[in-house]
Every structure is written in C-alpha cells, then in structure tokens.
A = this chain, B = another copy of it.
Amino acid sequence: MKFVYADNAATTKMSEASKQALIQTIDNYGNPSSLHNMGVKAFYAIDEARNKIAKALGSAGNELYFTSGGSESDNWAIKGFAENMKKKGKNHIISSAFEHHGILHTLSALEKQGFEVTYLPVYQDGYVRIDDLKAAITDKTGLVTIMYANNEIGTIQPISEIGSVCREKGIVFHTDAVQAVGHVEIDVKKQNIDLLSLSAHKFHGPKGIGALYIRKGILLSNLLEGGAQERGKRAGTENTASVVAAAVALEEALTDLDEKNKRVAAMRDRLIDGLLKIERSRLNGSRSPRLAGNVSVCFEGVEGEALLLSLDLVGISASSGSACTSGSLDPSHVLLALGLPHEIAHGSLRLSLSEYNSEEDVDYILSVIPGIIERLRDMSPVWEDIKENESKETKDTKKDN
C-alpha cells in the first residue's frame, strides 16, 4: 500500500542530516557544564548550534535559550514576562482567539491570578486585524502574544505590523512561531519581535527540543530554576545531541526555502482545488498568506475523525481539528474562532505537506478522498437531511417559479 505522510503540522520526520548529527553527537556525551575536555566539547557544540539558530532568526546567540519544546517556550515567555509586568503595574495581555493551547491555557492560568486578557477575533479569513489590536491596547497592556502562523489553518499573521505597533507603544511582543520557523523567513530584529517560541520537530528536527528567543534587555523570571545552564535562565543538563540536531535541521530547512516553498505551495494548491470540487466542501481560512504546506477543509455531513481514520486505512496520515483526543465534544477552537458552526467544524480535515511530499502523494490523496467521503456520507443521517432539504428547496424553487 502506498504511504503518504500528510500530518507535518503535527510533527515531521527527522531529516537524514539531522538524525545523523544527533547520533554522532550522542557519543560526545560529556555534560556541557563539566570542565573536562568532553564537557568543553559539548559546550562548544551547543554554542555553535545556538549561534546558527540565532543567526537564522536574525538574532544574536546570547538571545537564544534552549527549552524542551514549543510548549515550554510559550509557558516561559508568558508566565516569565507576567512576573515582570506585575512589578511594573501592568496586568493586561492581548492575544488572539485561535492561539495554540500552549498559549491559551497559560493565559487562563494568568487570568485566574488576576490578569486581564483580550482575545482578538480572527474573522472568517483567519487573521487578526491591526485596528483591533490598536483598539485593544490600554495603558495597562504589557504584552501582546500572537502566533506567527496558525497550526490548524496555516494562516500567517501580520507579524511585522504587530511588531511595529508594539514597539511604538512600548509593549513587549511575543510570537508563537512554532509553525513558522523553518517554513518562512523570519528576522526578529526587522520584525520587532521581542520573544519568539520555536520547536525543532516541526522542521524535521528532533522532538523534545525548542528554544525561546529573548531580546536583549527583556527580563523574564525563570520557569525552571536550578543549575546555571543557559546562563542561569533555564536549568537542566543540556540535551547536546538534540540541540545540535535542531541546528542542522533548521539550517537545512532554510536552504533554498523559496524554491521549496514554491514546490510545496503548488502541491497544496492542487490539493485545495481538487478537494473543493467535492460537493459542500470549503477551505478554512483565506488561501493566502498561508503556510506552503497547509490544507484545511471542511466537508459537510462527515465527521472528521471518521474521515481521517478512513484515510489512515488507505495509508494517508492526516489530522482533523475535531479535538478527538482532548476529551471534549467540541470541535476545534480554531475553527469555531473562524465562525464555523459546530456541525460543520466537526467535518474538518487537515492535510499538511512538507518538502518530503511528492506530486504523486497529491494524486493519491485526490484519488481516494472522494470515495471515502461518499461512503461516509452514504451512512450519515446528517447528509440525508442535507439532501432532503436540498430537494425540498429545489421543489420550493420550482413551486416559486
């Protein structure tokens, strides 16, 4: 059976170069805090990786701190800066309605502590509006946190504009760039980003390693107290191998990025066009600007999990926004934030491509999806109702004529 991995927004396959770097670095097992030669070697390996990643973001090595992934970076950025805000008498944070749970749940925790949070709407097209941002700012606002690109629908937010507004107003700007790093060009200095979260497993690096960019001069309290690692800001014996592998993966991801993105976007567009030919389907969020690999569609009368498991049975790994694992009966908060009704949001499918996908993958996906949807709709009482209403309407229209 053909196998197509189209769940790259969930996680990616490690690149061969990154994997080899990991394996090799494992043998250089010294603790980077140890003073002997093995430790010093590890120390330098981390230093080099840090500088590489920092450079790729337009920042300096001493502004980059390694973490265990995107969630930790998000938690640290927000909780850490919130402590700072308290001291300055600020208590208002601006975010968006469709952030990742790493942000949203952290913000809820802060709300319980008395912080106030404004969640900007993202409208049907999936973008925050600069005017909404400006209108939300008060003299109590200390932090704006808006994701770079949405993980479910791939829409890329107006980060540079948000950065300008925040810098002008003296508000610190964090962006959860977990879906963006390695996929779009980022320059934290030019874009006036103060804090940025990234996670290596989203760009063909290892899982369990991420980083937080902290612009020089921004003070965060520590989330993980302890040893003097990461210049005293993040305790824990450094994961040298993963750090090195992350840097290799990022370097590789950014090589010929435009070219790769063009190729991936062409596949994405062919997928979108093909899927939208299916009756009662719709694209979630605007077509552009959108991550080169993101396809997010809803099919009426079909439930997302059943759809993705059907795809899995024919070798296609995909995802649905229907939050099946979360224990909630609600569909994804992202799709609801776009204003989709529950019953439509339940029918969502996310296909996320990477440069490892091929045109044949697209052909294959397009060849099997219509049949799967037909099968599921055939047994769906919801679809039956839709069809009945349709024919009633046709009759009504006929009557009206």
Contacts and interface: CB of A to CB of B under 8 A. Distances in A.
A34 B319 contact: yes
B223 A75 contact: yes
Contact of A207 (B14, B19, B71, B239): B239
Given A10-B34, A208-B208, A71 B223 contact: no
A7 B34 contact: yes
A223 B319 CA distance: 27
Interface string A299-324: 00000010011011000111110001
Given A209-B208, A242-B208, A37 B312 contact: yes
Interface stretch (A22-30, A212-220, A370-378): A22-30
B235 A101 contact: yes
B206 A26 contact: yes
Contacts of A34: 7, 10-11, 317, 319
A253 to B, nearest CB: 16
A100 interface: yes
A35 B227 contact: no
Given A26-B19, A75-B223, A100-B226, A208 B239 contact: yes
Nearest to A14: B26
A228 interface: yes
A104 to B, nearest CB: 8
Nearest to A210: B236
Contact of A39 (B10, B69, B240): B10
Interface string A228-254: 100010011111111000000000000
A382 B121 CA distance: 70
A69 to B, nearest CB: 5
Nearest to A316: B36
Contact of A225 (B36, B106, B311): B106
Interface in A1-31: 5, 7, 10-14, 19, 22-23, 26-27, 29-31
| Number of this chain's copies in the complex | 2
Contacts of A27: 13
B102 A235 contact: yes
B11 A31 contact: yes
A68 interface: yes
A109 B31 contact: no
A59 interface: no
Nearest to A312: B36
A31 B10 contact: yes
A105 B37 CA distance: 28
A70 interface: yes
Contacts of A223: 75, 223
Most B CB atoms within 10 A — which of A30, A100, A208, A309?
A208
A401 interface: no
Given A36-B311, A37-B312, A38-B317, A326 B228 contact: yes
Nearest to A240: B207
Most B CB atoms within 10 A — which of A26, A207, A223?
A207
A101 B305 CA distance: 46
Interface in A102-142: 102-103, 105-106, 108-109
A36 to B, nearest CB: 4
A33 interface: yes
20 contacts: A5-B38, A7-B36, A10-B39, A11-B30, A12-B29, A19-B26, A22-B26, A23-B23, A35-B324, A36-B309, A36-B312, A36-B316, A69-B237, A71-B224, A71-B226, A75-B225, A101-B227, A101-B235, A208-B208, A208-B238
